[in-house]
């Protein structure tokens, strides 16, 4: 990683968000075809609470291509940003694409469940969350009841008499 980017990341981590953002914007202008720079720029905008400005940088980063470890985070950033902007259909599309490409990335599924909640798909949201819990937990009680949780995860509105 180049020294300028390291400096920008350190500024962001230290809460010097405006300065980090200004420097990141300049870096993107210098190398507009660098997907990783766009990803970092989106992150600085998100850190400032400027989600609308973050979106085109997430989109460009994904379009230009990123290493898988970074790409999954860019999908998460874009989907989450769409969700916070109330663009739930776009968020759903991004999360579904990301989960399709990275089915092992359980953290994506939690944000996807939030999006489903916003779309009033409450049952599917709960099913997604419950399945994520049983796949990721180390808690003995949840592990002991994982079969029951899995069974009920898509039957939350069903009753047995």
> What confidence tens digit (pLDDT) does each residue in 104-141 have?
999 999 999 999 999 999 999 999 999 999 999 999 99
pLDDT of residue 160: 82
> Any idea where the domains of the chain sit in the sequence?
1-66, 67-161
Count CB-CB contacts under 10 A for residue 148. 10
CA 105 to chain centre: 10
Select the CATH number that applies to the domain covering 67-161 from these four: 2.60.120.460, 1.20.120.1200, 1.25.40.10, 1.10.10.60.
1.25.40.10
d(CA 102, CA 75): 10
pLDDT of residue 11: 94
- pTM here? 0.90
pLDDT of residue 1: 65
Do 43 and 11 contact (CB within 8 A), yes or no? no
Residues of the chain with pLDDT under 70: 1
């Amino acid at each position: 990683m180049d020294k300028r980017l390291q400096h920008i990341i350190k500024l962001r981590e230290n809460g010097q968000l405006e300065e980090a953002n200004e420097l990141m914007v300049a870096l993107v202008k210098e190398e507009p075809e660098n997907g990783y720079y766009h990803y970092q720029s989106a992150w600085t905008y998100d850190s400032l609470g400027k989600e609308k400005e973050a979106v085109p940088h997430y989109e460009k980063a994904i379009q230009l291509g990123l290493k898988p470890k970074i790409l999954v985070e860019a999908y998460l950033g874009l989907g989450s940003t769409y969700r916070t902007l109330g663009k739930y259909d776009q968020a759903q599309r991004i999360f579904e694409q990301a989960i399709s490409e990275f089915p092992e990335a359980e953290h994506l599924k939690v944000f996807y469940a939030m999006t489903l909640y916003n779309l009033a798909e409450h049952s599917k949201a709960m099913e997604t969350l419950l399945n994520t819990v049983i796949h990721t937990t180390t808690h003995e009680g949840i592990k002991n009841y994982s079969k029951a949780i899995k069974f009920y995860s898509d039957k939350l509105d069903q009753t047995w008499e």
